[in-house]
A and B are shown apart, each in its own frame.
Chain A
Amino acid sequence: MAIRAFLLCIILFSSSYTSFALYEDQVGLMDWHQQYIGKVKKAVFQTQKAGRKRVVVSTEENAIAALDLRHGEIFWRQILGDNDVIDEIDIALGKYVVTLSSGGSVLRAWNLPDGQMVWESFLLGSKPSRSLLLTPTNFGADKDNVILAYGNGCLHAVSSIDGDILWKKELAENGIDVQHLVHPEESDTIYALGIGEASQFEAYVINARNGELLKHSSKGFPGGFSGDLSLPTSEKAVMLDSSESSLVSVSFVGGEIKFQEFQISDLQGYSGEAVLLPSKLAGMVAIKIDRSLLLVKLKDEGTLEVVDTVPHVEAVSDSLSFAEGQTAFGLIQQDGGKIQLSVKSSNDWKSHFLKESIEFDQQRGLVHKVFINNYVRTDRTYGFRALIVMEDHSLLLLQQGAVVWNREDALASIIDVTTSELPVQKDGVSVAKVEHNLFEWLKGHLLKLKATLMLATPDDVAAVQRIRLQSAEKSKMTRDHNGFRKLLIVLTRAGKLFALHTGDGRIVWSRLLNAFHKSGTCESPRGIKLHQWQVPHHHALDENPSVLVVGTCGHNSDAFGILSFVDAYKGEELNYLAPVHSITQVIPLPFTDSTEQRLHLIIDAEGYGHLYPRTPEAVDIFQKELGNIYWYSVDINNNLLKGHVVKKNCKEGIADDYCFESSDLWSVIFPSDSEKIIATSTRKLSEVVHTQAKVNADQDVLYKYISKNLLFLATVTPKAMGDIGSVTPEDSWLFVYLVDTITGRVLLRMSHHGCQGPVHAVFSENWVVYHYFNLRAHRYEMSVVEIYDQSRADNKDVLKLVLGKHNLSAPVSSYSRPEIMTKSQSYFFTHSVKAVAVTSTAKGITSKQLLIGTIGDQVLALDKRFLDPRRTLNPTQAEKEEGIMPLTDTLPIMPQAFVTHALKVEGLRSIIAIPAKLESTTLIFAHGVDLFFTRLAPSKTYDSLTDDFNYALLLLTIVALVISIFVTWIWSERKDLQEKWR
């Protein structure tokens, strides 16, 4: 007992000095940071000038980045907000990157060399429309280059020098869908082409200098149109008619619309939908039918001719014009593990500039996009490089028949994360290696010793730093004693699974799951969740752990489900079930079978539960617990919280033993005119709590109400659903609830008047912390609610406790309806928040820290002690000893408390805390567009020596002491002898 008290004291003392800051030379020792950009949507090459060759890309993560063409590194990167989707990107004046985003309402120019924003223009319009960007290269004699941007139904001419809007023209009056802006070379007019509501072709002719509408003509086509316009030349457009059996070429020169229909006999031979590809090919259009590509040439007189059909085509690039009016385009054919890149001339379609076949990693899936660029070889001929975007969101540069570099940009869109232990270290390490290591070890420590004794030269210091950073220890592929080395298994939006090593962040394996391949029954497969499926320990140690990947085929709740089981060490897909019943909830149960597979209950759209693994043993285990398994559902649309109990095998499921019926138990209906559900939070299933008692300074005991079946739920008044500031404080209420998900009992309801969302909440042990906006104070607030079990409070008889005559450790049921007591307190908090998490440790003894993902994409570690509801203005001596701080209205933000130190986790989405084996330490993984990993010790590493501990110094001291003992002993002997002879 005393030891424990002592330990607690140590924790307390060590935690009372809150300095987590790193020293400069500790950066990179236990943290790593990786930068990504996401799946590339558009790419523009900038290789004309000597300098650095680069490609500017816009991505689905709303990032604009300039990449080095030699290595694929990021020169600069700008990430726009979540709802600021980049529609178009181009280069203007040869020095600005121009982006059109937010549905065509924001036009920005970025400096090409360094990515600084030069100007920004807001383009206002009346109604949403598609957005188009046109940067004409030469407008006659006018020096001031003009950028034409169409968005929200308005055409704007913007000066590319300073972003001034020169003129504005409303175009989409009658629901006309403007699809193309054309600027014929050496002319002062602009054509805006579109299709009207009644399927008529519309052409506007506009004076480029002042925006004057010169002519507006429209003409209907009897057959109607389908799909989008394609624009092979600046004078004629091509599109498919509504029957998709013929092409229509439209001539619109001078606003005179002329149609010419053209039957494609070759189209008949194919089954499947004909799609006119949006690629801009000079003088040609590309039609894709069932993986084959038809290249159709548009002749001058407006007739069309099929010139070629190419099988197995995955992607076609836009045409690229280079030297003396030559134009070329690239296309990618893919067959099995091989891709073929061909660059063809648009003028003479039979000749190839380039035809390369490249062996390819199957794990990248199909090619989605290709962008080509030319360069001049040393022999003055033209070479081509191709940037391709793969199904797994990776980006590759092909040049001279080889992959020059690749970027795994799937990691910018992580959906879910889980961890896996590494294999246990096997015996049989070679002696030579050990000796080498010993020598290195000694050398390193001697250098360190030198540094400690201030004897080291700058070179030595650099060497010490290098040794520390490149420690082979941290990136080993075996389990370590402290549990720092693990595999982070991440599921990405591309359906690709990655295993990252926690030591250095390298990709151990990656796999594009077969289960997530598109097929007829499964049109848009996407991953939802990742669960630990099998975590072998003890008797099943020789088996590899595995993970369960859950996905669905569509966006509806009744879409088919996908289940895939993947080996966590090798990345092999062990088995997959697809398509299966729909999936709305995945409930990992607290039982495992004899092979340590965790039982999972998957609830489908009809409310039936399906048990996995599908073995009789699992059913046996489950049957025993039947009646004690409940589930709840939060229905945001209907403002409903419902509880269900799993009862018996399905009746009409007939022979399916693994299907279970559940019946509704309770429901909480929130009045939809006054409350809307905006956030929920529960405790993490894996969280370990050390004790149920909380001891105050005056030796008083409070019993925590610790239940895994508690749900925190926040609602706001419907008026307050909008952005901050859209509602007056009088009309805005925030309600928080604590609901028992077994009985539906509402344990707590609290209201905050004048507050609104967004609410970010984190639930741990017996407390909830939530973050919201206080409209009255014009500040963000964080509140804490601690829940204590009042029914246990009278367990205070020491004698009974000593003799064990208490029922504190007897299993409890939610139906016993224990009385609870809550304590709460609110504090102002300066930052708005993107994500909140809490540290978790192996045994739950170490004090906790909140991990707050701030709006600046950094992670702040805030001690839970700051969010203690018992803080008072003048704490007593006893309370001070307990570690309670004087009450302040604001939570302190110490610059040293940022665990991301100088780095940013761009587009931060989630923070995950993983306990290490060492009780004091927790591993933190934050992901967004970037990835960041570090190790955190909320109460300092009280249970181990730090990495910097100088073993050499210790050894030296011991040796010196032993020697001195011997020397003094010999001396004393000698002196004794002399004494006796005297």
Chain B
Amino acid sequence: MDKGKAVMGMGRRWAVDFTDNSTSPPSRDIPDPLGFTRASQDQDDSTLSREKKNAEANWKSQKAWEVAQAPFKNLMMMGFMMWMAGSTVHLFSIGITVSALWQPVSALQGVGKVFEPYKDSKVDLLGPKLVFIALNLVGLGLGVWKLNTLGLLPTHASDWVSSLPPAQEVEYSGGGFL
């Protein structure tokens, strides 16, 4: 569909959608012809497609694992960048740290989406997902650690009292020279 549209956009005047919807029986409102049994045909098909599906599931789970491990490379990259940035607060180090924090967070937000293409009843996505999340969490931790080394995390007492107004005094006194 998308492709068709994209092509249309490029200048073609027309397109035909060849998507076959015959495999989904409930969508058809025409009754089956006499003597036709759907079950036998399904059976026939299933042996063929099972193999196909198995292969696809394998491929999918393999891919999912790959995707799950992708943040690891990112992590290494990030670590290197952080090491380069040093531990003083300036534009570069703050930029690096912010991106180090933002990447895992955005990745975690889109966990479902990342693994969407590999969604299959036969594929167990829990493992890859957990690995993905764990790796991203490590990335996040790295970012937070970096933030801390920059001194931007309120982990000290001083961060919480630095703008504490002076306490009020109960008594009041004035006076001066006689």
Contacts and interface: CB of A to CB of B under 8 A. Distances in A.
Contacts of B26: none
A630 interface: yes
Interface in A804-837: 808-814
A956 interface: no
A809 B165 contact: yes
A704 B166 contact: yes
Given A636-B177, A801-B157, A589 B172 contact: yes
Contacts of A696: 158
23 contacts: A9-B89, A585-B175, A589-B172, A603-B175, A629-B173, A630-B171, A630-B173, A632-B174, A633-B175, A636-B177, A636-B178, A690-B163, A690-B165, A693-B158, A695-B158, A706-B167, A741-B173, A742-B171, A796-B157, A811-B167, A811-B168, A813-B169, A813-B171
The 4 A-B residue pairs with the shortest CB-CB distance in the complex, in nearest-first order: A587-B174, A801-B160, A632-B175, A630-B173
Interface in B146-178: 151-152, 154-178
A208 interface: no
A811 B165 contact: no
Contact of B173 (A689, A691, A699, A709): A709
Contacts of A801: 157, 160-161
A482 interface: no
A2 B160 contact: no
A5 B152 contact: yes
Given A9-B89, A801-B157, A628 B170 contact: yes
Given A699-B158, A798-B155, A801-B157, A742 B173 contact: yes
A186 interface: no
Contact of A741 (B89, B158, B168, B175): B175
A798 B156 contact: yes
Contacts, number: 143
Contacts of B175: 585, 587, 603, 631-634, 741
Interface string A665-700: 000000000000000101001000111110110011
A801 B160 CA distance: 6
Contact of A701 (B157, B168, B170, B178): B157
Contacts of B167: 692, 706, 808-812
Nearest to A706: B166
A747 B89 CA distance: 41
Contacts of B161: 691-693, 701, 703, 795, 801, 808
Contacts of A628: 170-172
B160 A798 contact: yes
Contacts of A691: 161-166
B169 A707 contact: yes
B156 A699 contact: yes
A812 B168 contact: yes
A590 B89 CA distance: 43
A625 interface: yes
A2 B174 CA distance: 39
A945 interface: no
Contacts of A809: 164-165, 167-168
B169 A1 contact: no
From A1, A629, A682, A696, residue with most partner B Cβ within 10 Å: A1
A444 interface: no
Given A795-B161, A798-B155, A802-B160, A635 B169 contact: no
Contacts of A802: 160
Interface in B123-161: 151-152, 154-161
Interface string A1-17: 11011001100000000
A131 interface: no
B154 A1 contact: yes
A300 interface: no
Contacts of B172: 589-590, 625, 628-630, 708-709
Contacts of A603: 175
Nearest to A810: B167
Contact-size category for B: 20 to 34
A630 B172 CA distance: 6
Q: Is the interface of A mostly helix, strand, loop or mixed?
A: mixed
A588 interface: yes
- Residue among B152, B162, B166, B177 facing the most chain A CB atoms (10 A cut-off): B166
A2 B170 CA distance: 33
Contacts of A693: 158, 161-162, 164
B80 to A, nearest CB: 25
A840 interface: no
A557 interface: yes
Contacts of B163: 4, 690-691
A689 B166 contact: yes
A921 interface: no
Contacts of A625: 172
Contacts of B170: 628, 811-814
Contacts of A629: 171-173
A695 to B, nearest CB: 4
Contacts of A741: 173, 175
Contacts of B169: 707-709, 811-814
A590 B173 CA distance: 10
A141 to B, nearest CB: 61
A9 B91 CA distance: 13
Contact of B176 (A634, A700, A709): A634
B164 A634 contact: no
Interface string A601-635: 10100000000000000000000010011111111
A633 B164 CA distance: 33
A636 B158 CA distance: 43
A700 B158 contact: yes
A584 interface: yes
Contacts of B176: 585, 632-634, 680, 682
B165 A692 contact: yes
A691 B165 CA distance: 4
A742 B166 CA distance: 18
Interface string A774-814: 00000000000000000000011110011000001111111
A226 B171 CA distance: 57
Given A589-B174, A633-B176, A814-B169, 9 more contacts: A4-B163, A9-B89, A631-B173, A636-B178, A690-B163, A691-B162, A692-B166, A693-B164, A704-B166
B2 to A, nearest CB: 24
A795 B159 CA distance: 12
B173 A798 contact: no
Nearest to B161: A693
A5 B175 CA distance: 39
B143 to A, nearest CB: 14
Contact of B162 (A588, A631, A643, A695): A695
Nearest to A692: B166
Contact of A797 (B157, B164, B171): B157
B154 to A, nearest CB: 5
A410 to B, nearest CB: 25
Nearest to A2: B152
Interface in B61-119: 89
Nearest to A691: B163
Nearest to B156: A699
A798 B159 CA distance: 9
B91 to A, nearest CB: 12
B164 A631 contact: no
- From B151, B152, B164, name the one whose CB has the most chain A CB atoms within 10 angstroms: B164
Contacts of A631: 173-175
Nearest to A700: B158
B123 to A, nearest CB: 43
A203 B89 CA distance: 89
A698 to B, nearest CB: 9
Nearest to A794: B157
Nearest to A707: B169
B171 A1 contact: no
Contacts of B171: 628-630, 709, 742, 813-814
A854 to B, nearest CB: 25
Contacts of A708: 169, 172-173
Interface string A708-749: 110000000000000000000000000000000110000000
